[in-house]
Amino acid sequence: MTTTIEQLVAQMTLAEKAALVTGDSNWTTTAVSRLGIPSLLVSDGPHGIRRLPDVHAIVQKSLPATCFPTASGLAASWDVDLLYEVGEALATEAIAQEVDLILGPGVNMKRTPLCGRNFEYFAEDPYLAGKLAASLINGIQGRGVGTSLKHFAANNQEFERFSIDAQIDERTLREIYLSAFETAVKQAQPWSVMCAYNKINGVHGSQHRQLLTDILKTEWGYHGFVVSDWGAVHDRVAALEAGLDLEMPGPKPRRTEAVIEAVKNGTLDVAVLDEAVGRILRLVFKAAETPKGGQQFDADAHHALARRAAAAGMVLLKNDGVLPLQAPQRIAVIGRAAQVPHFQGGGSSHVNPTQVDNPLAELQKLAGDAAVTYAPGYPADDSFEPSLIDEAVSQAKAADVALLYLALPSSIESEGYDRTNLDLTPAQVALIQAVTAVQPQTVVILNNGSAITMSDWLDGAAAVLEAWLMGQAGGGAIADILFGRTNPSGKLAETYPLKLSDTPAHLNFPGENGVVRYGEGLFIGYRYYDAREMPVLFAFGHGLSYTSFAYSNPQLSATTFLDKDGLTVSVAVTNTGQMAGQEVVQVYVHDQVSRLVRPYKELKGFAKVALQPGETKTVTIPLDFRAFAYFDPAHGQWVTEDGDVDILIGASATDIRHTVTATLESSLDLPPTLHAESTLNDWFTDRRGWQAIEPLMQKLRDEASGLFGGDDEDGPAIGMEMLRFMLDMPLVSILHFQESVLTQAPEEMVEDLLRQVYAAHEAED
């Protein structure tokens, strides 16, 4: 462009500006032909492009595109390079279909495994989700196609998702529900960020100025535009003022007129409108730099990538030695999902695949001379047909191994509604129990988008493979793993609980009277199970391999370090088995002492390493300032504290192989937070506060020992019991009990002490 964005905005009429900040159709922004401003075409597509031929349609068969594994499957790969590669492929297909911006990825936390849309989200951990999202975004945008990071924020359920008010304290919001967004924004700068439908602490996501402007644009330095989820705007003018730049879908003449009228009557500053217009225009012209259409994508190559990605994310949860299959003579394939693959979720992300692998057919290709039989095992709906189980049992008895392919039906798990339990269908559970009773060599293969319970049948199964909503090539990927062509390397990005009532949000989900309270606070996922010392079915980070790995020689770059310098962790990993494989090294941080409550450990680094049998590689993982910080609402910022921190190196959240300790020195000089009602403990733990009250405490020690308790050999002393009694009392209250030895009123004395503390802070600054 020779004309700058600012000049272009100045040339636009008020009507043109108002039209630009509202969509022109379901999938396009408004063009301004007289100024050469093109439209921007967007499409659903977190794991595959859902490009509708008619931009005015909302429900229509989309153009064929590669259906990659959903986010839950991709996340279980723990492979940022793979996510980048998938992103590049998505961009290539978007370009071929004239799509300028892909609506995804989603980085909302898996607060509860009941959320119907969990298959579209990465993890229960914000660090992992943020890193994976950033890599996918960079892969897409590196090819000149935009993304829309969603749903900002706290879109953690489908129940009343358009209106539910998520009540979350500030620290939990920052550390858990915003952190993945922050990572993705700072490391990838998505072209757009999509607001959530729900309210956050009483304010709709589309009108949440603190989120959209104060945090996203100002604090995080976000340069793109904010777009509404489809139909999320309630008041267009209020949303603009809050920082929502583009409302979708369109057209909406009443919204446009509302903006025009608000500017004319002075209730909306035109500068606010111009800011939104400028943000949109920058990305409209950025998209135009990459020509769209006029080419085809390599569908076969992308299908092969989808197969590799599906295998990388599949998690071998259990294996008693039956896998990999050793050329059995008779294989009983049981389960409708072997013939009718369940490979993607329902709702807006539903892709029209270019082709779909049939799991049974793919298995037969690799089975050699083995005799393969098939029985559907369970009905297509939720009904119960004993005859199907009888047929399956008969075939399982006659086989050397039984392969059970089971999928949660879309009627249970989809966008738009939440699950009511964590179980497979009663027919599927009965099938597993019946088959494993007659065939000890039974492998259960699962297609689902989030955690399920297994206690009713797990002991009877020889192996369990979590294949997720695996994408169009997942059927072949399953066969690759079953026969050992691919060594499983997936690790869970979410905890599998023993039962629903064990889950962190159980008592606070899904809410009532329009409000859902995030009462578990910071403690979601493995953070909760650690705090409760509660056993789980399968831990966060768990995943088996056909080989084994040993960890040795853990090293830190320093034993004492400054927070802003960070710390580097290294560990040697050796493949001690007989097969090439990949291991995910996970690094968790535990702060030994903290002013505020913290989770016992938190994931702060990971790396995936490929090793040949007998090979050793040293894995190096950097930890930055944020790896050791927590958000302190009293200071309104991320803080670190002096003291020892444990670095836990492991293969899962419960399989910690090594723990090494370092001493952190904080570089922060935080202002005091003392006030008129601060406790004695608050004064003790504040450096300047202690300096201020030390003479006073000595005076009380010397003159008021009768109240405080016995003497020691050095004279009157404050007894330990009394000291503990007083620690949580406000200093002013303690002084009220000692007025007889004071020269000032307690309130005046505390005010003087506070002035002294804050003056000392200002002097040091």
**Mean pLDDT estimate for the chain:** 95
Q: What percent of the chain has pLDDT over 70?
A: 97
Instruction: Give CA torsion, residues 73, 76, 77, 80, to 10 deg.
Output: 100
- CA distances to 35, 336, 547, 648 from 389, rounded to whole Å, are 67, 12, 35, 46
Cα–Cα distance measured from residue 443 to residue 462, given in angstroms and rounded to the nearest whole number = 6
SS3 label, residue 588: strand
Q: What tens digit of pLDDT does each residue of 304-330 get? A: 999 999 999 999 999 999 999 997 889
- Read off the pLDDT of each residue in 590-615 and give the average, rounded to a whole number: 97
pLDDT at 58: 87
Q: What percent of the chain has pLDDT over 90?
A: 89
Write out the catalytic residue numbers: 229
Taking residues 703-717, what's their average pLDDT? 48
Q: What is the mean pLDDT of the segment spanning 675-696?
A: 91
Each domain of the chain, given as residue ranges in start order, spans 5-288, 306-532, 549-665, 680-764
Question: 703 falls in which pLDDT band (50, 70, 90)?
Answer: low
Residue 719 has pLDDT above 70, yes or no: no
Q: Is the pLDDT of residue 725 over 50?
A: yes
Phi, psi of 315 (to 5 degrees): -115, 120
> Would you state the pLDDT for residue 1?
58
Written in H, E and C, the secondary structure of 690-723 is: HHHHHHHHHHHHHHCHHHHCCEECCEECCCHHHH
**Token pair belonging to 368:** 């050699």
Per-residue pLDDT band at 576 (split at 50, 70, 90): very high
How many whole angstroms separate alpha carbon 650 and alpha carbon 388? 43
Using DSSP's 3-state secondary structure scheme, residue 435 falls into: helix
Residue found under tokens 């199970």: 529
- Determine the Cα–Cα distance for residues 359 and 335; give it in Å rounded to an integer: 11
Token digits of residue 750: 């505390």
Fold (CATH) for 5-288 = TIM Barrel (3.20.20)
What pLDDT does 363 receive?
Answer: 98
Q: CB-based contacts of 40: which residues, under 8 Å, 6+ apart?
A: 28, 29, 100, 101, 280, 283, 284, 287
pLDDT at 713 over 60: no
DSSP labels, 607-675 = EEEEE-TT-EEEEEEEE-GGGS-EEETTTTEEE--SEEEEEEEESSSS-EEEEEEEEEE----PPP---
Tell me which residue of 349, 345, 306 sits closest to 45, measured CA to CA.
349
The predicted structure's pLDDT at residue 706: 47
Q: Are strands 656-665 and 643-650 parallel, antiparallel or unpaired?
A: antiparallel
Asked whether the CA dihedral 311, 551, 619, 588 is positive or negative, the reply is: positive
| Partners of 67 in beta bridges | none
Confidence grade of residue 717 (pLDDT, cut at 50, 70, 90): very low
Average pLDDT over residues 450-477: 98
CATH topology of domain 306-532: Rossmann fold (3.40.50)
Strands (E), 42-172: 42-44, 101-103, 146-152, 165-167
Neighbours of 275 (CB within 10 A): 18
Given a contact cutoff of 8 angstroms between Cβ atoms, the answer to whether 372 and 401 are in contact is: no
pLDDT at 186: 98
Q: Which two tokens stand for residue 638?
A: 């991320």
Q: CA 463, CA 64: separation in Å to the nearest integer?
A: 35
What confidence score (pLDDT) does residue 615 get?
98
Per 3-state DSSP, what percentage of the chain is helix, strand, and coil (rounded to 5)?
35, 20, 45
Contact 89, 302 (CB under 8 A): yes
> Cβ-count burial of 294 within 10 angstroms (0-12 exposed, 13-18 middle, 19+ buried)?
exposed
Q: What is d(CA 410, CA 525) in angstroms, rounded to the nearest whole number?
A: 25
d(CA 386, CA 408): 19
Ramachandran sector of residue 3 (left: φ over 0; alpha: ψ -120 to 50; beta: rest): beta
Query: Which pLDDT score, from 0 to 100, does residue 2 have?
Result: 74
Strands 643-650 and 581-591: antiparallel
Is residue 29's pLDDT more than 70?
Answer: yes
Say how far apart CA 696 and CA 701 lie, in whole Å: 9
User: 413 or 660: which carries more pLDDT confidence?
Assistant: 660
Tokens linked to 160: 């009343």
Element (DSSP H or E) covering residue 481 = helix 474-482
Tokens of 265: 């009557």
The string of DSSP codes covering 399-441 is SSEEEEEEE--TTTSBTTB--S-SPPPHHHHHHHHHHHHH-SS
Would the pLDDT of 709 be above 80?
Answer: no
DSSP E strands, 122-169: 146-152, 165-167
Largest CA distance in the chain: 98
Average pLDDT, integer, range 689-707: 77
H helical segments located in 197-318: 209, 236-242, 253-264, 270-288, 299-313
Q: Is a pLDDT exceeding 70 seen at residue 499?
A: yes
pLDDT for 359-403, tens place per residue? Answer: 999 999 999 999 999 999 999 888 899 999 999 999 999 999 999
Superfamily of domain 549-665: Immunoglobulins (2.60.40.10)
pLDDT at 707 over 70: no
Supply 689's token pair. 């506060």
Q: Which two tokens stand for residue 596?
A: 């505020």
3-class secondary structure, 493:
coil
The one-letter amino acid at 369? D
DSSP-derived pairing of the beta strands 581-591 and 602-611 = antiparallel
